[in-house]
Structure 1
């Protein structure tokens, strides 16, 4: 899980670096173009091509469009915000899952997770600080990315038991590739020098993240693996400081601590519920 999160952080750092010169659409295009063949190969060696078969193309189209929105919002936010601040706001995605699972999945949200989600959202407000002198619209864009990613997780929960993992990942990557390819002529700029390595590396880091995180959830309970997602904050602070001399102010750390604490509380609660639900045998 930690290796997967490191890959995510490195991919985000590369996207932020590329975003200073290239449009988000072009970054998304190359990232998905590199990722898709690698995902197909992983599927081939983890069950064969049949793992990519689906009877729900409409669901995959919807998830792909949501994922395209997630990527566009987050890459745009990375160009407007320090890396650590964008990462802290993105941590709100699991909290939005809890808040939205009731109306969208008709699941009963228990009191403790609901309260923890509200506290976590307060942490988001601490980081974003609407009305403060340092407020940036980029923060709201990243909040939009967190909401879109929450919708991705909700659809995965809704259809994950009916579709293979690799089909879910493959088509969620294919749709943004097609959409970005259609829009690419309007923003195209020929990559130069190290930019080619950046585009390729971004795609490789994305596949590495998916692979490692998938293995983590395969070999450990979700409630045990999920909290390690928050190690991304460490990498975001270090990479932001090293590459751009970004030093988050105290409120970013305070808000991130509140968000992380809420997420861990929800994960521990779900773990306790799962243990109670197991048969005694």
Structure 2
């Protein structure tokens, strides 16, 4: 099997782990506050991340000279987790997943003012079309409109900020340090707030809390391996397979059947994201140095 196919397989596995983790969080959200879910998810993830880091250069890779940057990214990650878990409790799984796909579109628009990057015309137009897709899914003013849609949009904005800060500071920090601190800060915040939201879990819930943490680390690991084996422009579009899993899991566990507008809006969002990915790939190819005989 070629390296690219291996990368695609890892990406699909990572996305499956994400979808399963979202389903578990939605299930837990029926009984517990997002703060408690975030606490256990990060509590389980932290030692696993530290273990992976120790196997990839030792715990010294977690050292950093930019604690303020990691604190900022950690707080953004906390907002991302909280908004998305809250949105999962208010929306069907497929609807929340479709809206979350808007994150790369926000990255495109925010990279200009925040990273001083020039946004080309095609990605800019594609982003605007993608936001039209978000409006189709959310349908502001419609009878079935829920606040959950806006909350998941907030999660998408926070996640976009997380990706932008990773692009800005990632070349100066070790990968596992970035991952560790972006998990540590949400754990610290949720630990401080936990006494106000604590509910004693039943035995079956412990499997969910532990499973959510393991699935989160599994997703991160598989997606990291995907980008090591395949070009980002090839592996990234397979992130959209999450929609397939969201529809299946939502129907299987909660009997959720998305209406036609969710599919239409999802198609618009995915098409916009793919257009941006294709454009970035073409730009990357043109920027490669050429060799002459």
Counterpart among 214, 217, 220 of residue 207 in structure 1: 217
Deviations 1:148-171 (A, max 9, x none): 000000000000100011000000
Counterpart among 4, 27, 34 of residue 24 in structure 1: 34
**Partner of 1:119 in structure 2?**
129
In 2, distance between residues paired with 1:81 and 1:129?
Answer: 13
In 2, distance between residues paired with 1:46 and 1:231?
Answer: 29
Query: What TM-score do the two structures reach when normalised by structure 1?
Result: 0.99
Deviations 1:56-107 (A, max 9, x none): 0000000000000000000000000000000000000000000100011110
SS in 2 for 1:124: helix
**Partner of 1:139 in structure 2?**
149
**After the TM superposition, which segments of 4 or more aligned residues of structure 1 sit over 2 Å from their partners?**
none
Counterpart among 44, 69, 77 of residue 34 in structure 1: 44
Deviations 1:38-64 (A, max 9, x none): 001001111111210111000000000
1:36 CA displacement: 0.5
SS in 2 for 1:160: helix
Q: Write out aligned runs for 1:82-93 (5 A).
A: 82-93=92-103
1:219 CA displacement: 1.4
Between Structure 1 and Structure 2, how many residues are aligned?
281
In 2, distance between residues paired with 1:156 and 1:218?
Answer: 17
Counterpart among 186, 191, 197 of residue 196 in structure 2: 186
SS in 1 for 2:172: coil
1:218 CA displacement: 1.4
Query: What TM-score do the two structures reach when normalised by structure 2?
Result: 0.95
In 2, distance between residues paired with 1:206 and 1:28?
Answer: 11
Give structure 2 stretches of 5+ with no counterpart: 1-10
In 2, distance between residues paired with 1:42 and 1:110?
Answer: 38
**Partner of 1:109 in structure 2?**
119
**Partner of 1:63 in structure 2?**
73
**Partner of 1:221 in structure 2?**
231
Counterpart among 25, 47, 63 of residue 53 in structure 1: 63
Report whether the alignment pairs 1:98 with 2:120: no
Give structure 1 stretches of 5+ with no counterpart: none
**Partner of 1:254 in structure 2?**
264
